[in-house]
């Protein structure tokens, strides 16, 4: 089946930021998404940026993805890159219970830096191929996502990859949804209180769909 040609200009650019503890597989996911290879051993990232043209739901876009440091010694840099992100993949490893427990911290920090009640995020449970080492269940991951009203996706960067493209594409869909909601609210500001709380209420109505789709 023929694919549509990539438009040369006027494409929306989405700045996606990949966050999470060190060693959870953020770089492996990012490299798998961009280069379609699995890198098992990778030096701890300080900050790597990747650019890609991609078609999502029939609409072309430029994805500007920032793969960030998870190590604690780089924690001072987090607020700086969080300020520029349009959406965030919060990644934890299902083999590392501590990385799962730190999801709350990343979620809260993003909302504080953005000064919002809600913001585009996807919770990514990585390394699900390591079944014998798994310490975080699917139910626990879904409960965490529901707690924060965000999408939940399970991934593996190891060949053959599982849901890697879906994770990045789903984040773009969430960003588009937020943009659509915000535009709608601005048009109705003469009678509706346009706050991020209102956005959160609407998200609550559709969170069941997001969790189900994951």
User: Vertex 66, ends 62 and 68: CA angle to 5°?
Assistant: 170
* Sequential DSSP letters for 159-208: SSPBSHHHHHHHHHHHHHHHHHHHHHHHHTTTTS---HHHHHHHHHHHHH
The answer to whether residue 197 scores a pLDDT higher than 80 is no
pLDDT tens, position by position, 33-54: 999 999 887 666 556 899 999 9
CA distance 46 to 92: 18
- Two structure tokens written together for 151: 């999408």
Percent of the chain with pLDDT over 70: 75
pLDDT tens, position by position, 142-171: 999 999 999 999 999 999 999 999 999 999
Query: Which CATH homologous superfamily contains domain 13-213?
Result: P-loop containing nucleotide triphosphate hydrolases (3.40.50.300)
Residue range 62-80: average pLDDT?
75
């Amino acid at each position: 089946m023929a694919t549509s040609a990539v438009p040369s200009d006027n494409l929306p650019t989405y700045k996606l930021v990949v966050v999470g503890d060190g060693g959870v597989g953020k770089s492996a996911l990012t490299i798998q998404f961009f280069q379609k290879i699995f890198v098992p051993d990778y030096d701890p990232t300080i900050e790597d940026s990747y650019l890609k043209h991609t078609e999502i739901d029939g609409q072309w876009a430029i994805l500007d993805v920032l793969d960030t440091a998870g190590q604690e010694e780089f924690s001072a840099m987090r607020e700086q890159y969080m300020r520029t992100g349009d959406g965030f993949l919060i990644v934890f490893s299902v083999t590392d219970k501590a990385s799962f427990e730190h999801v709350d911290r990343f979620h809260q920090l993003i909302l504080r830096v953005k000064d919002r009640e809600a913001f585009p995020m996807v919770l990514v449970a990585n390394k699900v191929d390591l079944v014998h080492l798994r310490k975080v269940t699917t139910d626990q991951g879904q409960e965490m996502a529901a707690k924060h009203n965000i999408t939940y996706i399970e991934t593996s960067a190891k060949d053959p990859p599982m849901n890697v493209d879906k994770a990045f594409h789903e984040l773009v869909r969430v960003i588009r949804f937020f943009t659509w909601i915000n535009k709608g609210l601005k048009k109705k500001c003469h009678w509706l209180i346009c706050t991020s709380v209102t956005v959160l209420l609407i998200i609550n109505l559709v969170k069941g769909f997001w969790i189900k789709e994951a």
